[in-house]
Amino acid sequence: MEKGLVRSVQRSPFGLQLQGMLFNFEAIKSYVDWKGTVTELCDLLTQLGFEVEDLCAPPDICSSLVVGRILSREPHPKADKLSLCKVDAGNGKPLQIVCGASNHQVGDHVVVARHGQELPGGLTIEEREVRGILSQGMMCSAREIGVGDDHEGILILPETAPVGAAASNYLTSIDLNITPNRPDCLGWIGIAREIAAATGLPLKRPTWDFQAESKDRIPIHLDDPEGCPRYLGRIIRGVKIGPSPKWLQDALTQVGLPAINNVVDATNFVLMEMGHPLHAFDLETLKGPEVRVRRARADEKITAINGLEYALTSDHLVIADRDRAIALAGIMGAKETEVSTATTAIFLECAYFDPRIIRRGEKSLGLLTDAAFRFERGMDAFGLEAVLDRCTDVILRVAGGEATSEILEGVNFDHMPRKSKINLRADRTSQVVGAHIALSTQADILRALGCIVTELDNGQMHVEVPGFRGDLKTEIDLIEELARHYGYANIPSCPPVLPACPGEVLHSFSIDKAVRSFLSDRGWLETKSFSFSKPDTHEKLNLAPDHPLRHSVAISNPISNETAHLRTTLLGSLLDVLERNVQRGEKHLRVFEFGKVYLPDVQDLLHCEKRSLGLAWLGVEDPHWASGARPFDFYDAAGLCECLFRELGLPHPALERFVFDSFHPGQSGRWTVDGKTLGVVGRLHPVITGRFDLPTDPILVEIDISALISLIEPVSLELKAPSPYPPIRRDLSLTVQTGTTAEEVLNLIRQSDTPFLDNVFLFDRYTGDQLSSGTQSLGFRLTYRSSDKTLTEDEITPVHKNLLLELNQRVGAIQRGMENPGEAQ
């Protein structure tokens, strides 16, 4: 797209803001012969996974509006601001219509409401005299038929609209919300390809037949092949800059783009048609002339087409000539090289830029254009020739001139993206989708989507994915495409057959849940942060050059420099959280995070992950009525973690002095169990506190959750169905020495081999004068129950007596009021 068009300011002619992919219902038929209604098309696109963001169409009451063509236009004999028009509405005799608008001329195609037509708002069109002249209908504005707010002029339709046809099709636009992984659908041909593949209709691609000469050539240098591995261009001389023909202006205004001039409009049209941005430079303004793709130099500046000056850094990719930058690559062109009315020769650019570099440049400059919107999602590096040829053809048609060069190319194959080549198993497709799809049907669908398919003898296919489908990388991606176009409605619905068995709760999940409950019950807030490490985190944490935590795992395809490495500790993430909250006015915090860290010097990523728990105290504790607010200190952290370890049933870890680079040397330690480090605790070093712009030194803890789990024995729960048979309850009042605790007696009863004993609990303790000195009375209630029969008194009495005898032998217990323990009732 011409890089001067900023996305945020473009609006459709009917008041709809340009979002996603906007296309006119009738115009899409130029690329696929759709015969259905607009509602049926929206349903199909929804089934294919595209969200219809908005449908801008006249209300149903306007379905009888027709396309008319103005045959003549004359001034109204009795009113200066009115005109008298003859309009062919396709019903034989032309209609005579009096019109108050001034934006129409002979030959225009307009929206005609005939006698008897009802319009929104309750207006009915009738034949009537206007200032003494009969008017047989009305030429409508956007507001009169409910498709916009413009009432100053009448709607002018594309000149390709047939006279007498329903006008509603040409007034209907569909706005699709395209997901970031589908940049191929940011053009009309991409949408048409999806429709064609789903319906079996042929895709009608544009053609061209111009002749290119080999008279001209300028050098193209790729100084930054990573940012731009492929750059194409062509020289066109003899162009005449002026207004675009009506068909081109109509095509752009239907999707909310303004007409600028014929060359710029041609690049914008091809952008919307084929989805790939282009840019036209005034050839005479290029120094050299030569084209160089490079990073911006220190303190380099550029004045863009929008008239604003931008200061550039080495993070920005630019297009340059011999002396200076002439465009922000993939974003916007420079003011001094733009096409103007004085231009007679152009250099037409079509390139592939790395999405990550465009995204960084666009965000740092705050400049989101249609070109950047597409380049940051990834364009097709292999289809540039077709885009350049199509745009050349359109320019030659609307601006004249001749192509005085073949395609000029700069390419670095080492940095070119790779087309995916995938082996697809037909039976695997049927297994995943849940329906049998014939091998030939699968091949036909994939070919319709642009893939090169070779059918193999073993029920497999070798699929070469086209360059515009960078989202298709594995077999499962192809299976998803087949399911979409086979139709989810055609897949039989059947419930899964699964064995009815109880689920098992993982030991690690139980520990996580217990820790979260422990902390949240005490008023802690949980945070979540990305598993990345900023480039300066290790420096800010004061880690020594040879510290093992400095050696992090690098990411091969980072989103940005801020996410180029995986973190080795949670401390940096916690301090970032504290810093952000302090900046927003929160200065007293207790936060924790469960997260993964990635240890250094481990080649196998499956084994370098380690789960950690991080805690951070900042500021003062909540004030208490009996005391003022007290700053958090080292012992708050040590005490809380000891309570946590005890809650989890962990053997008491030893807290020992330990010097850690990030902590205050006098307030740092670590917990160990059997010589193995479980975690570290300490107050942040004051120097590091300043680096994170914190008001006080926070207290930090990092615990190795993986090591913690290995030290805690899992608790197995055995579930038992309750007995359906009635219980027998007996009370047992025992006289024992005062040094014998109730807990001791309870444990003896529970650990005895007493048959049928279901439950026991203490209900009374007596130490009155009726007892001998140095004794006490403990009352226990025992419940006897069988799981397979009803018990009788004859069965329980001997069991109860045997239990009393055992207690007498173990702790000298005697049933109160009876000297002989064998007399128990």
* Average pLDDT for runs of 10 along the chain of length 825: 33 38 90 92 94 85 89 91 93 91 91 90 88 92 81 85 89 90 94 95 94 92 96 97 91 88 96 96 95 94 95 95 96 96 96 95 91 94 96 96 95 95 94 92 95 91 95 95 92 76 73 93 93 88 87 81 86 94 92 89 62 94 75 90 88 84 91 89 94 94 90 71 91 90 87 90 86 90 93 92 91 78 54
Q: Can you give the pLDDT at residue 821?
A: 55
Q: Can you give the pLDDT at residue 495?
A: 77
170-196 burial code (b ≥16 CB/10 A, e <16): bbbbbbbebeeebbbbbbbbbbbbbbb
Give the largest Cα separation in the chain, rounded. 135
CA dist 535 and 52 (Å) reads: 41
- Cis omega before residue 289 (within 30°)? yes
Q: Can you give the pLDDT at residue 34?
A: 93
CA dist 511 → 505, 525, 597, 616 (Å): 10, 18, 18, 20
Give the CATH H-level superfamily of domain 220-415: Phenylalanyl-trna Synthetase, Chain B, domain 3 (3.50.40.10)
Tokens of 368: 């989101």
H or E stretch including 521?
Answer: helix 507-521
Topology (CATH level 3) of domain 507-711: BirA Bifunctional Protein; domain 2 (3.30.930)
CA dist 282 and 239 (Å) reads: 11
The strand pairing partners of 481, in sequence order, are none
- CATH class held by domain 421-490: alpha beta
H or E stretch including 365?
Answer: helix 355-365
Tokens of 652: 């008491």
**Would you say 394 and 271 are in contact if contact means Cβ atoms under 8 Å apart?**
no
CA dist 442 → 108, 267, 473 (Å): 47, 36, 17
CA dist 191 and 530 (Å) reads: 35
Mapping DSSP onto H, E and C, the string for 45-59 reads HHHCCCEEEEEECCC
Q: Can you give the pLDDT at residue 13?
A: 33
The terminus-to-terminus CA distance of the chain in angstroms comes to 99
Q: Is 281 helix (H, G, I), strand (E, B) or coil?
A: strand
Q: Can you give the pLDDT at residue 819?
A: 59
Q: Can you give the pLDDT at residue 123?
A: 86
Q: Which residues contact 689 (CB under 8 A, 6 or more apart)?
A: 696, 697, 698
Q: Can you give the pLDDT at residue 771?
A: 86
Q: Within a 10 A sphere around the Cβ of 413, how many other Cβ atoms?
A: 8
CA dist 147 → 109, 111, 659 (Å): 17, 12, 72
CATH for 60-171?
2.40.50.140
CA dist 13 and 16 (Å) reads: 7
CA dist 108 and 453 (Å) reads: 48
Topology (CATH level 3) of domain 728-823: Alpha-Beta Plaits (3.30.70)
CA dist 663 and 683 (Å) reads: 5
The DSSP-derived string for 406-435 is --EEEE-GGGS----EEEEEHHHHHHHHTS
**Would you say 26 and 169 are in contact if contact means Cβ atoms under 8 Å apart?**
yes
**For the chain, domain boundaries:** 60-171, 220-415, 421-490, 507-711, 728-823
Alpha helices in 584-666 (DSSP H): 605-608, 634-647
Phi, psi of 627 (to 5 degrees): -155, 160
**Would you say 307 and 367 are in contact if contact means Cβ atoms under 8 Å apart?**
no
CA dist 279 and 293 (Å) reads: 14
Q: Can you give the pLDDT at residue 8?
A: 29
